[in-house]
Amino acid sequence: MGCVESLYSLVLFSVVLILAMSTNVNSGGEKLASVDFEIFGNVQGRWYTEDQGKRLGVNGWVKNTREGTVVGQVQGSHDKVNEMKVCLSKVGGPSSRIDHVEFSNERDIPKLEIHGFGIRYCQSSDKAQQQQISTLRPAPKELVASQLLRCLICPVIFISSQF
């Protein structure tokens, strides 16, 4: 096998590997899910929700609204997202009172759109704007995959142009 064929094989293998890494199945073989939530009651303790998210190993965000609710998004394996939904519905900070929780936009996702779990801060009183999901930094795996693909394709184009 010549140099060009070896390089093409390496590129093909790398592309297959990158595609496999970007499916909606995480390394444990579990499908990924995402859900938005809004918690009603005396619930202005975001730190408690952040701690729960980190403890369960889900990704997402949480923030207070000017209306006195807490909104956010959770992403991760279906099992972990469902476990977090139970926590959001039943468990709050020491001085909180959860009246009810609304879950929306529940869906399967091909890959994690959020890395880590954190608190966001709200400056607007527009409820629709508060719930809008902003663009977040991609998970590190995506950065590595895109950089790897870019590094592998450039030499192939150069070598191909030499023949």
Residues 46, 108, single domain; the answer is yes
pLDDT tens for the chain, residues 1 to 163: 565 565 555 555 554 444 444 444 455 567 999 999 999 988 766 777 888 899 999 999 999 888 888 899 999 999 999 999 998 888 777 777 889 999 999 999 999 998 998 888 865 544 444 344 333 334 445 544 544 444 445 444 444 444 4
Residues 14, 67, single domain; the answer is no
Question: Which structural domain range is residue 14 located in?
Answer: 3-24+143-161
Residues 14, 51, single domain; the answer is no
Residues 62, 111, single domain; the answer is yes
What CATH number did the domain enclosing 125 receive? 3.30.70.100
- How far, CA to CA in Å, does 85 sit from each of 24, 75, 122, 140? 20, 11, 22, 26
Residues 108, 42, single domain; the answer is yes
Domain count for the chain, please give it.
2
Catalytic residue set: 46, 64
CB 118 within 8 A of CB 134: no
* pTM (whole model) above 0.75: no
CB 21 within 8 A of CB 145: yes
